[in-house]
Structure formats: structure tokens, C-alpha cells
Structure 1
């Protein structure tokens, strides 16, 4: 089978190549998946560069969250059979024509859901869902501020929050991204590039809501976190998802006490290991919302597996407007 391979850690576009590898055999509790589509994610760049918290042994094939068709099942697997359409939360190995995945981390795809849609929504939608519903305890009628709303997780959070009946404020630094977020359901745009953001973010939120926000989903950290904390309403909840803005911020605990607010964090892969039933319920809800036309992946571009190095280079240099999805099979195969 053809697969991307990384023999040494380094610049993703330079160390990732295509090679012919032996097709793997599923072991106990595993399935072999014929990969139809897999998205490229920022975390893949970190893994390939060797900067991720867990380094895979070299050589390895990168890629998370493939969508495809089960080709074979390993010992003890009774929930799946060859021919089943699934999204698999494989942590690695998915930039390939075939990959292995834990059977208990596969989720049945509706027949009408395109593989490319499923791959583009993987990692982004489940992260946003848990941030909003499990950590943020979002209720219909509340107000949500999404920091970094133009990214994959941010775009997903906007759509999911709107589908849940919330008023949604989309925080972005590039005003050119505003139309995409309004189309996704944002009720107001918050300018994160405004000067004196510590005060200006709260002023913008107050103008849009008449008060503060109930939930903040923060992918940025840095000064954006500190400014958003001041924009929380009484009993508001801020969920830390990442630090794409750079600096990791600190919290003064007395401020949490005075406003009765809380800050929590989300590391989505822990839920897959510790609470698999919750993750299954999450994807069932996401797929149902997709089928009802209430959520969709952000704009995507597809590329063949052979172009993986070019695709990683574009991702690293932020030359991708939406989601970039690899199609390991023939270009003529249906998605």
C-alpha cells in the first residue's frame, strides 16, 4: 500500500515522503480501515517536527481521524464488519491507503454523509462539542464567545453553539474572515485585533449583549484569554482549548472568586480513552445535526495522497483558507 512516511523528525514538508509499505493486519480489538479521506491538522505538524508531548517511534506514518470503509476486523471485534462506513479516531498512521484503528474508537457514518465531510469535521467538531457541552455546560439562550473562530475548531464551535440555541459572538483578528463566520451563524463579530484589547474586547461584548458572555471557548490564550476573562458574565465559564496566540496565560484566583466564574481545560483525547461512551454520544449528535443541515464542515480543499508534502507545507505557512483533506484512494472513487 502507499503511505506517507516520516523517517526523521523535522520540517514536515521536507521529512514526509510517499513510500510503498506492507498493508497492516488488525490485531486484537482492532480494525483495518481502507482510508477514503483524512484531514490535515496543526497537531500533525507538531508530531512530525518531534515537538509533540508523545513522540511516535521512527519511522512512522502520520495522520489522525480517518474516514473510510472497514476492510477487516481483528480478534474479538464483534461490533463491526467489513464494508461498514466509519470515522475512526486513530491517533496516527492515517496518511495512507489503509490504517489500523481501535474498534472502540470507530463511529458509524450515516450512509448519506460524504467521507470528506466526516474527515474535515473530525478532531474539530468533537473538540468543539466537548468544549461547549461537557466543559462549558452550554444552555439554550446563553451567549458564547469563540476566540479564534476562523480556525477549524472555532468554526465548529460557532455552528454547534448556534445549533444549540445560543447567541454566538465570533472573535477574529482578520476581518476578511467575518463573512464566513456570519454564514456559519455568528450573531456578531468581535475584533481581536483592536488596540487596548483588555478593555476593548469587553466593550465590544457589552455592546453586542448588553452585559457579559456565559461561555468563552478559547483556542488562543495569550492576551485574548485575559481580555475574555473580563468579559464573562456572573457564573460564566471559560474553556481553555489551546494557546495558538502564543503565550500561556495565568489566572489570579481572587478574580474567579469575585465574579463566581470558572476556568477549565479540555484535552479531547483523554475522553476517548476514559469516556468512550461519551465520545460515541458526541459523534451521534454531530452526525444527526449534519444530516439535519444544522452543521457542516468549514470550506475544504481536497488533495491526493501523493501531494502530502506540498499539503503540509501549505498548512504550515497558513496558505489554507479552510480545511485541507487528503484522498488516499483514486480520484475517481466516490467520497
Structure 2
């Protein structure tokens, strides 16, 4: 089968050559069913997440042994099943996520790790749902308890998890404030019906958000969703209400922020670290319920997947260059 392999730590955006950390194998062994409840899926689509890039450059919190096939969330069609598989059959449309392995023609998973894709859901959309939307759903719904009438501030709102967070915020009935950089991203966010969008290329966020809150007669921000870190976090803390929830999603800026514990104490803030993948180990039941709700929202049209580019596996370098460098 065809698969994209990472053979060494390095920059996946450089042109394919002996110096590149990734290469395309056209004769990689098709994975075998390794248990009686295993299912082999022919992959239809798989999304490129920032975490996949970090794995290849060696900066992710988990470092897999080399060589490895990157890739996490995916969708596809069941191609083979173990003799004790009872809930799935050949031809079923499914989606799931894995620590590694989806940048390939086939992937094997246990039956309990796969989700049926409902009628009305596009398989390509389902293949890009779980990691980004799953992260935001667990963070906002289960950790922060976001509810109707609250104010949600999303940093990095034009990125993968950011776009999922603003949509989930609207489904929950929150007033959503989105922060992004550049006129094109701002216009796109406005087209989603976001209540207020801040273009940080035109200055800091404080004045713009304060003016919006005053016009809406709102006191401040109840939930901060932060996949960026750095100075943006520092500026955003000034906007938080007493009792606010801070969701630490990641550090796309490259700078881990410092949240003063003395201010968190006085303001009664709750700070949540959110590593979504660890729920598969520690709270798998919650994770399953979350994914099922997201799939139902997708089928009903309450959320949408914004696919900006599609690539074949053979376009591995172009895929990373266009998606990561073009952020």
C-alpha cells in the first residue's frame, strides 16, 4: 500500500530528497487484523493537524519511535473484520482517530474505537472532525461548562481548533468573540456569524473587545479558549470576569504563557489544561459520548468542516508546506 513515512526528525516542508524527514512508500505492507475484534479500514480522508507537524519536527509531547506513519483522525470504509466483530460489517462508513498511522491507504483499529458515520455526513468532513472539534467539544462543553448567555473569547480563531471552538460556542448559545490575523481570516469568521471578530494585525485585542462588551452591556469574558499562548494570553487575561474559565489548548505562538497564580486566586479563575488524546486512556466513555454528539451535530448541519485544500499522499511535502507554512 501507499503510505507517508517519517524516517527521521526534521522539517517536513523541505522538498522530497534524501535530506527530507518524510518519504512516500508505495510498497508498505497492508496492516493485518491483529485480533478477533480488529477492523481494517480503507482510508478515504485524513486531516493534517498541527500535532502531526510537531511529531515530525520532534516537538510533540509524545515522541514515537522511528520510522512511523503520521496521522490521527480519519474516515473510510470497512474493508475487513475480525471473526468476533459484531457491530460493523464490510462496507460500513466509519471514522476514528489514532495516535499514529492514518497517512496511509489502510489502517487497523479495534471495533470499539470506530464510529459509524451517520447518513447525511460527508466522509471527507468526518475525516477532519474528531481531533479539532473533539478537542473543542471536550474543552468547552465538559471542562468549562459553556452555557447560553456566557461570553467566549477564542484566540487563533482561524486555525483548526479555533474554527471548531467558535462554531461550538454558537451551538452552546454563547456570545462568541474571535481573534485572528488578517482581513481575509476576519471576513471568513464574520461569514460564520461570529458576534465580534478582532484583527490583531491592527493592534492589540483589549480596546476592540472592551468596546464590543460595553456596546452589548456585558461585563467581560467568561471562558477563554487559548491555543496560542504568548503575549495574546497576557492581554486576554485583562478581559476575564470573576470566576472565568481558562482553557489551555496549546502554544502555537511558540511561547508558553505565565498566568499569575495570585490573580487567579483573587479572581477565582479556573485553569484547565486540555490534552484531548489522553481522554482515550483516562475517560474513554466521555470521549465516545463527545464524538457521537459531534457526529449528530454534523449530520444536522449545526457545525461544518471547512476544507481549504485537499492533497493525495504522494503530495506529502506540498501538503505540509501549504498547510503549515500557509497558516
User: TM over 0.5: same fold?
Assistant: yes
Counterpart CA distance in 2 for 1:54 and 1:74 is 30
- Count how many residue pairs are aligned between Structure 1 and Structure 2: 318
What corresponds to 1:72 in structure 2?
Answer: 80
Q: Which moved more, 1:230-239 or 1:99-108?
A: 99-108
Deviations 1:84-122 (A, max 9, x none): 211111111111110122433221111321111111223
Q: Find the partner of 2:29 among 22, 28, 40.
A: 22
Q: Determine if the alignment matches structure 1 residue 62 to structure 2 residue 67.
A: no
Within-5 A mapping of 1:159-238: 159-195=167-203, 199-200=206-207, 203-204=210-211, 206-207=213-214, 209=216, 210-238=218-246
Q: Find the partner of 1:119 among 127, 134, 151.
A: 127
What corresponds to 2:247 in structure 1?
Answer: 239
What corresponds to 1:333 in structure 2?
Answer: none
What corresponds to 2:9 in structure 1?
Answer: 9
Give the conservation status (yes or no) of the 8 Å contact 2:119–2:299.
no
Give the conservation status (yes or no) of the 8 Å contact 2:186–2:198.
no
Shift of 1:196: 5.5
Counterpart CA distance in 2 for 1:104 and 1:204 is 49
Counterpart CA distance in 2 for 1:104 and 1:175 is 44
Q: What value does the CA root-mean-square deviation take over the aligned residues?
A: 1.9
Within-5 A mapping of 1:1-335: 1-13=1-13, 14-19=20-25, 20-28=27-35, 29-74=37-82, 76-195=84-203, 199-200=206-207, 203-204=210-211, 206-207=213-214, 209=216, 210-318=218-326
Give the conservation status (yes or no) of the 8 Å contact 2:152–2:176.
yes
TM-score for the superposition, normalised by structure 1: 0.89
Shift of 1:208: 5.3
Counterpart CA distance in 2 for 1:315 and 1:305 is 14
Deviations 1:241-291 (A, max 9, x none): 011122111122221122222211110001122212211211121111112
Residues 201 and 222 of structure 1: is their aligned pair in 2 closer, same or farther, counting only changes over 3 Å? farther
Deviations 1:283-334 (A, max 9, x none): 121111112211101243222221122111222312x6xxxxxxxxxxxxxx
Residues 75 and 27 of structure 1: is their aligned pair in 2 closer, same or farther, counting only changes over 3 Å? farther
Counterpart CA distance in 2 for 1:115 and 1:249 is 37
Counterpart CA distance in 2 for 1:252 and 1:132 is 22
Structure 2 residue matching 1:257: 3-state secondary structure: helix
Structure 1 residue matching 2:286: 3-state secondary structure: helix
What corresponds to 1:323 in structure 2?
Answer: none
Residue ranges of structure 2 left out of the alignment (5+ in a row): 14-19
Give the conservation status (yes or no) of the 8 Å contact 1:67–1:87.
yes
Shift of 1:206: 3.1
Structure 2 residue matching 1:169: 3-state secondary structure: strand
Residue ranges of structure 1 left out of the alignment (5+ in a row): 321-335
TM-score for the superposition, normalised by structure 2: 0.91
Deviations 1:122-180 (A, max 9, x none): 31110111111111110112111111100011111111110111111111122321121
Give the conservation status (yes or no) of the 8 Å contact 1:27–1:75.
no
Structure 2 residue matching 1:31: 3-state secondary structure: strand
